[in-house]
Every structure is written in structure tokens, then in C-alpha cells.
Structure 1
Amino acid sequence: MENENVTFLTEFVLTGLIYEAQWKIPLFLGFLLTYLLTITGNLALIAVIWSDPHLHIPMYLFLGCLAFVDAWLSSTVAPKMLVHLLADSKMISFSECMTQFFSFAVSATTECFLLASMAYDRYAAICKPLLYPVIMNNGLCIRLLVLSFVGGIVHALIHESFLLRLTFCHSNIIYHFYCDVIPLLKISCTDPSINILMLFIFSGSIQVFTIATVLVSYTLILFTILKKKSEKGMRKAFSTCGAHLLSVSLYYGPLLFMYVRPTSSTADDQDMIASLLYTVIIPLLNPMIYSLRNKKVIDSLSKWSKRNV
């Protein structure tokens, strides 16, 4: 019987968010509005960048790809969460669970690489302004974008392949609102040590590399700004980089909380709150953060709106 349970497991149960019954409808409406605003905001940002030839430069190409990945990340998690908020059944098939995790891993990892690429782009623009067209040419920009997506796919494939070696015989209840690797490892009846090691090696390395790239880039930018001692230049540079730093801080905080210690006994509800931040809330905030702090985007958005009214 145990072998049959292991062999023929076809469904998991997602416990979802913990809430009182009277909050069911308000939570559904709140998350539905958040998701709709996320998709609208990110797609509008992509449309503005696509339609304005003046924004066809590396800085905005990275921003457009970031908006695409944010919409992708939110769409991987939010629709199923919304369905489960209203439905009595919270079942998810094994194949759907694996697909959801793969999509999440690709988009989340790609976003890490994109944020690092954007930091390097800002370093080249502020610290090497005369050489910027040579350093950050279209060829390098495209290569960084392609590598970001390829890196996300390869990273997801690694963890997906190691997840498929696991069996689930003790419980099929996932204490989360989507299929993520850590909750799955917690209910596996196969020794997940190799999965934890792979998570530590690959996820840890990617986070350390991308965070280091961001920190080094902005440290050099800060020194360059302070050397210039120009109030106008400092204000412009801080305005340009402030949005990126805010986005990076909001994104990496929950990620570090979740993944630098995969064997931690942190409560499941705390993990879900951290996950909620970078899968639902941050994809909503990013287009607003970048648009409201960027004059070119605001001007292009205004022109685009007038043309489409």
C-alpha cells in the first residue's frame, strides 16, 4: 500500500493563506485588484517603452524586460491563489504543481539577473559616461538579456529535475499558497539532502553573485557622485538610481529570508508572508517605482495615453 501511494500520487493540497472566514471575500477582492493593477501597470510600461523610439536604449530595454518578468511572476502565482480563496477544494495536480514551480523559478531567477544587469548599466552610465555607448552597446545589452533568461531556465531545470526524484508518501499537504521547493522538501518521504545542497549551491550562488554585482556597482556610483560635488549632478544620479535601489531592496529582502537557510524551522506563515511580498506585492510596485521616478517614462506615458484616448 505504501508503494502504491508513492507511485500513484497525483495531487497535492495547498493550504493557502491562513485567515478568518469573514475575510474570505475582502481578501479575494483585494488580491484580484492587486493582480489586475499589476498586469495593467507592467503591460502599460512595456507598451510605452515599445512605442517610443527614444526609449529603445539599454536602460529601458532592461526595464521593459523587468516589467515582463514581473507580470509573468505574478501570473504564475496569483490566479491559482485567487481560485483557492473562493473554492472549497484546494487541490493541485502533481504535473500542475511541477509546472507552477518551474515557471516561478524561471521568472524569479531571471529577475535577479535583470536587477544585476540594470545595476551594471547604471554603473557604466554614471561612472563611465563618455565610454557608455561603447561599453553598453546593443550587442552587450541583448547578450545580458538572453543570459538572464537562459540562466533562469537552467536554474529552474536543475531544481525541477531534483524535485522529480522525490516521493511523497507521508503527506500531500503543502503548507503554502503555491508550489515552492522548500514546502515540497518538508513533506517528502525521500531524503531531501541532495535537494537542499543544490538549493544552497545554486540559489545561494546566484543571490550572492547578483547582490554583489548590485552592491559593487552602487558603491562605485556613490564614490563617483561624491567626487563630482555637483548638486545638480548628484540629484540627477540619485534620482536615476534611487528607484533601482528601492526595487532591489524590496525584492532581495524576502528572498534572502526564504532561501539562505532552507533547513530553518521558521514558521510556515512567516514564509508565506515573505513569499507574498516578492510574488504579489513587488510586481505591483515595480512599475510605479520606476515610472514615478523617471521623467522620460512619465513624458512618454503621457504622450502614449493621449494617442490612445
Structure 2
Amino acid sequence: MDENLKEIVLENSESIVKMWMIEVAKLKSENYTATISDDLFENTNREFVNVIFESIKDGGSTKSVELFSEKIINLGWPLSYITDGLQVFRRVTIEYILDTTEKVNSGSFSVILTSVDQWVEPIIRQLVNEYSGSWENIVSLQRVALQELSAPLIPVVEGITVMPLIGTIDTERAKLIMENLLDGVIRHNAEVVLIDITGVPVVDTMVAHHIIQAAEAVRLVGATCILSGIRPEIAQTIVNLGIDLEKFPTKSTLEKGFMSALEKTNRKISDLDAAKEFDIEKLLNSIKGV
């Protein structure tokens, strides 16, 4: 940037900031930041413009740009806030320089445009790159977290594990379900695996096929698979599609599925209150007998 123009901008930074703040506020309803409180919006704008001026003073302050882009992502603000703000800053700066310059010929006007562009363009590229890189990293981490939560295998009691499924099941998620099932059966030494589809909104041919494959894989490693959460509408769909689930026990609720799993592992649930009452009565009778 031309040193004379740079000096003009830095010496009159307060005036340029005021103009910029006014123009940026007009865009609040256009760049998806209309719901943000006025105080937060104004404070962030001031931080934004400080980052811009730091860049021109230092010839490009990478750290401040990086921190600001991360802040915008954490706030959930769109990329358009950054690009719109910098475009407004370019326009306001050029207008201010033109207004303060006594005589502007075609040559000096071209110099002003070129100089401001050479200053603003690197900031735009850096902010956009930092924003995009941080966003991709966050999305990648979220994808991994969602995958870990999309097919959890929960050991309930010894020999019995439960996999509650929620949401739609596509090919990628079905592969993850299969991997988690087989790994969990071996790791927890499970005898019975309950796959609960209460939270699966739609069971079509593809979903049923994936579930059958998973249940068959569990059977091949020596465990039994029980399918629970068969709602009436899902049962009707399965019948209409001609899907054969005869090889695998099915239950309407997770509770019934768990009871069936207990039976298969030679367990049962006893009424503790009744057992205590029986013991007390037996003790009283024995005392009376004495």
C-alpha cells in the first residue's frame, strides 16, 4: 500500500471506524446476524475493525486474524459477516481517502484503488482461509463424535448388551453398526445382543436388509440377536415388503426384549419386596412355633 495513503488511513482511523460501523450495521438483516444482540454485534464489530487495522500496521497479523476467525465460528456467525465487513471497509476507506484528497486525477484514483485492494485482499484471503480451515476441522470432529454416538453398544448385565438406534440408517451408518456390534460382542463376551429400533422413524427394504445382516453376523460369532421396538406400523411395513425376520426373535418393546434376553441367559427378575415380605412372615411363623 502507498505509504502516504497508509498514513492517511492510520491517522484518521477513528473517523473511518465510525463510518464503517454505520455501514456494517445496515447489513445486519442481510448477512444472517439479525438475531444477534446489539451489544455483542457492536463489540464484535469493534474487534473486527481492530484486527483489520492491526493487519495494516503489522503488514498482516496472522495470529489476530486466526483468533478472530475462530471466535466467529464459535459464535456461529456466517462467513458472509466477514466478507461483507471487509467489502464495506474497502468502500468506506476509498471514499474517505477521496474526500480528504484535494485533487484526484485518473492516475491518483487508480493508485488509491490499487493500494486499498493490495491491503484488503490479503486480509480477505487470510480470514476466509482461517475460517474455512477452522470450520472444516470442527465439522470433522463433529462427524467423528456423531459416528461414535450413532451406534452405541451398551453392556447392561453380564452376557447382555443393548444397541439403541435413533434416526435414519444409511449404508455408511449400517457399516458402523456392524463393526460396533461384532467388536462389542467379542469385547463384552455377550451372549445376547438387543438391537432396539424404537427411535428409527422408517424401516424400508434397505434398513431391514442392514439389520438382518447385522443380526446374522452376530449369530455367526456365537451370540443371539433380539430385535426390539417393532411398532405396529413397522410390523405392517415389514409384512408388506415381504421381509423375513423368522430367524431372529422380535419384541414390541425394549422391556420385553430385555426380559427375553434374561430368559435366554437363564435369569429372571424377582420381586424383592415380595421376597422380603415372605422372609419376614417365615421368620414370624418360626418364632411363633418356638
TM-score category of the 2 structures, normalised to the smaller one:
under 0.3
Q: Which has the larger radius of gyration?
A: 2
Q: Which has the higher strand share?
A: 2
Q: Which has the higher helix share?
A: 1
TM-score (norm. length: structure 1): 0.22
The one of the two structures with greater contact order (alpha-carbon pairs below 8 A, sep at least 6) is 1
TM-score (norm. length: structure 2): 0.23
